[in-house]
Amino acid sequence: MRQVKQYIVLLVLGLLAGCFEDEGNYSYKEINPPTWFEEFNDVSPKNIYGYAGKGEVMVFKGSNMFKWEGDSATRANEVRYEWKIGDVVIGDQLDFEIPTDELVEKINLKYYSNSQGEWGTFNIIEKETGITFPARLYVWIYPTFAVYDWYILSEDNGNSKLSAIRRRTVTELGQTTSSYELKDNAFEDINGQKIPGKPIALAMETSRDVSPSGACVILTDQVAYEVNLQNMEKVSEVKDQFLDGTPTNFNVADLREKAPQSSDEGACTFVATKDGRVFTRIKSVNYLGGQYLTEPYYIDSKGYKITKFGHSMYGGLIPCYDEKNRRIIMATTWREDVNHGGGQGDYTSVYRTKMTPLTSNYGVPVDGFPEGTEVLKVTAKNHISWGYGGTTLLFSVYYNDPTMDGTKTLVGDFSFSNQNQMVTSFGFERWFYLPVKLDESSVILVSCNNRYKSEKYADEAKYRDFYTIGNKLYYIQRGKDYYDKTVRFVEFNATFSSKITSLAYAYYNLDQLWIGCEDGSIYGYDIRNINDPKLVCEKKLNGKIVSMKQIGWHTSNHDWF
């Protein structure tokens, strides 16, 4: 045993001696790595953006990401390139283009980017040694029409036209810039057909069964087409979505959804017809079922006539004006426990539609306006923070009352308790006259968002209402303090080519205001400084702009524009 140990020690010493004597037996190759540009390195990923759809391509430019030190031409011949998304190789050139739809198919992409992109790498590989210099990529692939794009409904020689304005964001050298691209008459280009009838409005639906981004309903005086928000393909017509067949004389005048507010609630849609009937449906939680009831909704023995819905928050109560009885009605859903007769706990919770007429008033005669009253807009609001919230909600109404000052439009607040279904008051509601009288041709834009005060521009929008007179745009500036009931009437600092026919907010931060005109002109303004608005987009179509909607993911704190 002792001899074995001695042998091992001698062997180790011999090996060590051999190593010390073996000088110059190895050759070393100097690595010549790429120098990544400052705004991007192997730790910070390179963002690459692409949009799906016919004719769209994605550009991958490695030449914009690095440089070689020394003889770059020689070094370039010594390497090859590999672009990967996940584990899929999508290209082997330094710079290359690929149709976005082809790329989507190649990587088997199931869902387009909204809040999350796809990880990838750009690899520079030395041909002789196989040494790889990797750089991380973050690839955003959006649908044809993506978050922050706009749908534009306009007149088109007796028919309707749906176009789109797409926002394109580019980041270069650490700076992000946005441009706007007009897709004129996109619906006809995509679907191969015109939209018959005069345009009325666009209505948004959550409809995750149609697309992850939802659906949009095009309303004209002849049809109501439901389209996929991500690609604008027509998927259905409202008249074909009834349980027992289309009702007689069914002509849609307006449509509004009460979006779901909990995981066990389905989306509820209210449809008003030209003759004043309202039809409803509630979809299943997973959007796999739910059709309109063929019988119109019954409210009470007085009957009703509702042809237009008011403005609401996403998932909030929808105020409606009953033209027959000149009263306000609240449309919503409520949960009911259905007992199956098996004792305690043997029940199922279901949601049902509910339309409640207001039977009392405080200040504003919401239980019955005087005969001859013209109600221009009824809307949820949030410009008074104290006393309101939870189940007690604030609303405003713009109306012309023939029994009062007939030369001015009245603006009044009222509150409503969703708990006891009654009009309530804390005494903070406000009433005032506009300096002019508006009519049905005036456009009124308000926000009822309930965003936190840290969301600066959204918070400011609560206290500001826009209204139009011809080609002039004005806004009401409300006071924010506890007892401050003062209002100012201010003209918006911009000029417009013709009569204003449509107004819209960029829904998320309400930091942009978009204006559509009778001559087809469209203007988008950055209003972060309301006293000095900046024009960010100007486009022109060939007919009156009727409705504009921005695509995006809403929450219960957002307006449901």
pLDDT given at position 171: 64
Mean pLDDT of the 71-86 span? 95
Of 266, 381, 370, nearest to 315 (Cα)? 266
pLDDT for res 444? 98
HSE-CB for 554 with a 13 A CA cutoff = 31
Q: Which domains does the chain have, with CATH numbers?
A: 35-142 (2.60.40.10)
Task: Give pLDDT, residue 299.
Answer: 97
Asked if residue 231 lies in contact with residue 145, where contact means CB atoms within 8 angstroms, the answer is yes
Phi, psi of 9 (to 5 degrees): -60, -45
Q: What is the pLDDT of residues 155-166, one digit of tens each?
A: 999 999 999 999
Characterize the bridge pairing of strands 132-142 and 46-51.
Answer: parallel
Q: Answer whether residue 150 shows pLDDT above 50.
A: yes
Distance, in Å, from the CA atom of 405 to the CA atom of 326, rounded to the nearest integer, reads 19
- The pLDDT of 436-454, averaged and rounded, is 94
Query: Residue 235 and residue 537: Cα distance in Å, rounded?
Result: 30
**What pLDDT score does 2 carry?**
43
Checking if the pLDDT of 5 tops 70, the result is no
Task: Please compute the mean of the pLDDT values over residues 92-116 and round it to a whole number.
Answer: 91
| 82 Cα distance to chain centroid | 36
* Residue owning tokens 């009352």: 401
What's the whole-number mean pLDDT along residues 175-181?
Answer: 84
**pLDDT value at 428 more than 90:** no
Residue with tokens 């088997």: 108
Q: Report pLDDT for 35.
A: 93
Work out the end-to-end distance of the chain between its first and last CA atoms, rounded to an integer number of angstroms: 90
What six digits make up the tokens of 487? 């209002």
Q: So what's the pLDDT on residue 42?
A: 58
Give residue 25's pLDDT: 56
pLDDT of residue 10: 39
Which tops the pLDDT comparison, 366 or 175?
366
Whole-number mean pLDDT of the chain?
90
> In the chain, helix, strand, coil percent, each to 5?
10, 45, 50
Q: Report DSSP state, residue 362.
A: B
Q: What pLDDT is recorded for position 15?
A: 42
Considering the chain, what percentage of its residues have pLDDT values greater than 90? 74
Other CB atoms closer than 10 Å to residue 231's CB: what's the count?
A: 18
Percentage of the chain lying above the pLDDT 70 cut: 92
Could you report the per-residue pLDDT of 231-275, keeping only the tens digit for each? 999 999 999 999 999 999 999 999 999 999 888 899 999 999 999
Please determine, for residue 330, whether its predicted confidence score (pLDDT) is greater than 90: yes
Can you tell me the mean pLDDT for 359-371? 92
Three-state secondary structure call for residue 291: coil
- Strands ordered across the beta sheet of 500-505: 500-505, 512-517, 521-526, 534-540
